[in-house]
Amino acid sequence: MSTPPAPQRDRYLDVLRCVAIGRVIVYHATGFVWLTYALPAMGVMFALGGSLMASSLARPDSRAVRNRIRRLLPALWVFAAIVIPIMTWHAVHVGDADELPGSRELLLWLVPIAEPPGTQWAMPATIVLWYLVTYLWLVLLSPLLLRAYRRWPLGTVLAPLVCLAATEALHVDMDTAVGGVVVNLATFGACWVLGFAHRDGSLARMPLPVLLSLAGMALTAGAGWAFTHPGDEGFDLNDIPVAQGLYSLGFVLLAMRWRPDLGWLRRVRPLDRLVSIVNARAVTVYLWHNVAISASFVVGEALDVWSFGDRSGELLCVAITLGLVAGAALSLGWVEDLAARRRPRLMPG
C-alpha cells in the first residue's frame, strides 16, 4: 500500500503570513496608525492559524492540538531563558526587585494560559506575548469550535463578536489576566473560525457579491466604531477591540477569498526564499522583533544615525531592526525546527 503524498503548502498563505509579520515589525518600529487599517495583521495571522488548525484536525491523527502546542512553546521557553535572567538582573541592579514576578507567576512563562508577567523595564519584550496566549487558547478550543462550526457555521463565526460586544458593555478590564484573555479571544475568535471556512471551501463557494457586501459592512462598521470611540492612542485599531474585531473580520473575508496566481514567485528566488525563511521562523521573528526595535535605538545612538537627520535616522533604525531580527532568527530559529521535529538548520528552505 503506497503512502499518500504529503499535502502541498498553500504558497498564498505563506506570502500572507510573511507580509503580516513584516507589517507588525514596521508598525511597532514606526507607530504609523494607518498601517492598522491597511493591513490588520493580527486578524490575518489568527485566520491563518485557524485554517492550519482545521487542516490538522481533519487528519486521522488525534494529536493535532498537542502537535500545535509543541510547535509553539519551545521558542517561548528559549525567549524566557534569555529575558527572565536579564530582567531579573536589571531589577536588582536598579533596586526594583519588588517588580519581579513570584515563582507561581513564572509558571506562566512555561504554559502561557495568561500573559506572562514582567517588569516595566522589560515591557518592550513582554508586551507581544498576548498573541501567544490567545493563540494557545484558540488551539485548545479548536476541537470544540470546529464541531460547533460544522453544525452552526454562521453562529460560530458571530459568537465571538457577540462576546466582544458583551465585554464592551460590561467594561471588562483588559489589564487583568482573565480580562485580557477574554477580550483577545472575543476580538480575534471570528477570524480564527473564518480560517475553518477557508479550509473547508465555504469562503470560495460563497457568492462574490454576498462576500463583498459582508466584508464591506464589517469594514465600515469597524472603521466607524474606531472613529466614534477612539482609544487612548486615538484611532489605532489595536487600542479599540470592537473596531479591531469588526474590521479584521471584513479584511479577512477578502484576504482569505482572494486566490492570486503566485507562479511568478518561484522565478524571483531571493523573494521566494525570504517567504520560506519567515514562515519557518515565524514564532522566533515575532517574539524577538520588539526587542530588536528597542536595541536598534541603542545601536543607532552608537552609530550616530541621527546625524543624518530625523527621517534618515528612523529609516536606519528600521534597517538595524531588520538586521537584528535576522540575527535572532539565525541564532535561535533552529529551536522551531526541533519543535517541528525537523532537522535543525541555521538557514531553512
Report DSSP state, residue 267.
G
The residues, ordered by sequence, that sit 6+ positions from 101 with a Cβ below 8 Å of its Cβ are 116, 117, 118
More confident residue, 313 or 181: 181
pLDDT tens track for 28-84: 999 999 999 999 999 999 999 999 999 999 887 678 899 999 999 999 999 999 999
Q: In which band, very low, low, confident or very high, does the pLDDT at 349 lie, cut at 50, 70 and 90?
A: low
C-beta of residue 45 within 8 angstroms of C-beta of residue 257: no
The neighbour count for residue 262, using CB atoms within 10 Å, is 14
* Confidence tier at 310 by pLDDT (50, 70, 90): confident
Q: Is 231 helix (H, G, I), strand (E, B) or coil?
A: strand
Residue holding cell 533596586?
95
Question: Is the pLDDT score of 168 beyond 70?
Answer: yes
Answer for the pair 321, 293: CB distance below 8 angstroms, yes or no: yes
Read off the C-alpha cell for 145: 469550535
Q: Quote the pTM value.
A: 0.94
How far apart are alpha carbons 211 and 249 in whole angstroms? Answer: 11
Q: How far apart are CA 22 and CA 322, in angstroms?
A: 10
How sure is the predictor about 4, in pLDDT bands with cuts at 50, 70 and 90?
A: very low
CA geometry: angle 180, 184, 188, nearest 5 deg: 180
Q: What is the CA radius of gyration of the chain?
A: 21
Instruction: Please state, in angstroms and rounded to a whole number, the distance separating the CA atoms of residues 157 and 135.
Output: 17
* pLDDT confidence bin for 304, thresholds 50/70/90: confident
pLDDT of residue 332: 95
**Minimum mean pLDDT range among 6-10, 98-102, 171-175, 305-309:** 6-10
